[in-house]
Homo-oligomer: A and B are copies of this chain.
Amino acid sequence: MQKQPTIRDVAQAAGVSVAVVSRVLNPGSGPVAEATRGRVNDVMKNLGYHPRTAARELKFGPPTTLGLLLADVSNPFFARLADRVVQEAHARGIQVLLMTTQEDDQLESERLATLIERRVSGIIATPTGNNLAIWKQLQDLGTDVVFVDRSIPSLPEVDVVSIDNFESARSATALLAAHGHRRIGIISGPAASSTGRDRIAGYRQALETAGLEQDELLIRHAAFRGSAGGDAASALLSIEEPPTALVVANTAQVTEVLRRLSHAGIDIPGTLSVIVFEDSPWTELMTPALTIVRQPIDLLARHSVQLALSNTQGKASGEPKIIRVAAELVERSSVARVHFTK
């Protein structure tokens, strides 16, 4: 285990001052003779010298790190978002510190404290909905905060990137209505989440347009974690006049819901037509292939990273940005015309 060489070691070995080495390290920061530059570079290579980021960051806040605070990376949606965010960031020479909250606001506040101490330049997050004071503090500190997929209404000054939840749920519901379904159920995120509320609103709008009766029994909120989705599905199926179609608008709970339907022996789409908010390759492999709402994760990632670095890159803006990208309804085989049993 070698001792790590410092800039002074390099300077001495190359017979120049540290200032010159620093200039070689940061081209454009000052003149260096070609010959000297070559010599210094050689020495650095020989010594295996690598400048320490920590030392560099001490002088200026680092526009070199970004915090990515997600609920749960084992959820494919977040996993793919993470993948794209990391790629986008790397393309800009930025590193990503990944943290997870497990939807726990206590954990969230701890993670945020760490991010503050690291003085990250930006944070991309799926907020739990609490810790309002900390989010505000972050912004006051000049950190670019971007909420992705969800928002917190009481923090209107934070940038938000998400799909158009209202329109996505509306069009999915409308498709079912167009297939003749009159009892359409929906399982969405917690009522406290912006995502959940917007999707329910879109759902209601579609019902209204189609002239269908709204039945609160058909609307279920399920927590993001645990088996809440499965329970919601069971509950929906056991009501007096069960739905003939179902929109699963809680991404995190899609597999839970499907598992429950499968165990209950429900025939899709014979007994129940289904549309899910989930765009993983396996949805196409199912029997039947699932009709899905596809979220353009690439766009979400690109916009998020851009916003999270916008202030840093001088493009400071007055107004908070709200970016809504359109989701795509992909029709496959899990939606059927309704059986007119009565």
How would residues 61 to 97 of chain A score, 1 for a CB under 8 Å from any chain B CB and 0 otherwise? 0100000100011101001101110110010000111
Cα A160 to Cα B54 with chains together (Å): 29
How would residues 259 to 276 of chain A score, 1 for a CB under 8 Å from any chain B CB and 0 otherwise? 100100000000000000
**Which A134-157 residues have C-beta < 8 A from chain B?**
137, 140-142
Give min CB distance, A62 to chain B, whole Å: 7
Stretch in A109-117, A123-131, A217-225, A326-334 with 4+ CB within 8 Å of B: A109-117
Query: Are A98 and B82 touching (Cβ within 8 A)?
Result: yes
Q: Which residue of B51, B111, B118, B255 is within 8 Å of A53 (Cβ)? A: B118
- Say yes or no for A1: interface residue by CB 8 A criterion: yes
Contacts of A239 in B (CB 8 A): none
Query: Are B2 and A141 touching (Cβ within 8 A)?
Result: yes
Query: Are B100 and A86 touching (Cβ within 8 A)?
Result: yes
Give min CB distance, A84 to chain B, whole Å: 8
Query: Are A52 and B119 touching (Cβ within 8 A)?
Result: yes
Query: Are B82 and A116 touching (Cβ within 8 A)?
Result: no
Stretch in A7-15, A163-171, A282-290 with 4+ CB within 8 Å of B: A282-290
Query: Are A79 and B74 touching (Cβ within 8 A)?
Result: yes
- Say yes or no for A99: interface residue by CB 8 A criterion: yes
Give min CB distance, A73 to chain B, whole Å: 4
Query: Are B98 and A68 touching (Cβ within 8 A)?
Result: yes
Cα A97 to Cα B2 with chains together (Å): 24
Cα A255 to Cα B117 with chains together (Å): 41
Q: A1 — nearest CB in chain B belongs to which residue?
A: B142
**Which of A72, A262, A281, A282 has the most C-beta atoms of chain B within 10 angstroms of its own C-beta?**
A282
Query: Are B100 and A95 touching (Cβ within 8 A)?
Result: no
A54 and B50 in contact (CB under 8 A), knowing A83-B100, A285-B259, A285-B286?
no
- Say yes or no for A57: interface residue by CB 8 A criterion: yes
Query: Are A73 and B62 touching (Cβ within 8 A)?
Result: no
Cα A97 to Cα B57 with chains together (Å): 16
- Say yes or no for A226: interface residue by CB 8 A criterion: no
- Say yes or no for A280: interface residue by CB 8 A criterion: yes
Contacts of A116 in B (CB 8 A): 50
Query: Are B79 and A100 touching (Cβ within 8 A)?
Result: no
Leading 8 A-B pairs by shortest Cβ distance:
A79-B79, A73-B83, A287-B287, A98-B98, A54-B57, A282-B282, A255-B281, A74-B83
* Other A-B pairs, 15, CB within 8 Å; known A73-B79, A79-B79, A258-B285: A1-B141, A52-B118, A54-B57, A54-B62, A54-B119, A55-B58, A58-B58, A73-B80, A74-B79, A82-B98, A95-B114, A96-B99, A255-B281, A259-B285, A287-B287
Could you list some 29 contacts between A and B, CB below 8 A?
Answer: A2-B140, A4-B119, A48-B141, A50-B113, A50-B116, A50-B117, A51-B117, A52-B118, A52-B119, A53-B118, A53-B119, A54-B118, A68-B98, A74-B79, A74-B84, A76-B76, A83-B100, A86-B99, A86-B100, A95-B97, A95-B118, A97-B98, A255-B285, A258-B285, A259-B284, A280-B282, A282-B282, A285-B286, A286-B286
Residue numbers of A with Cβ under 8 A of B are 1-2, 4, 48, 50-55, 57-58, 62, 68, 72-74, 76, 79-80, 82-84, 86-87, 90, 95-100, 102, 107, 111, 113-114, 116-119, 137, 140-142, 255, 258-259, 262, 280-282, 284-287
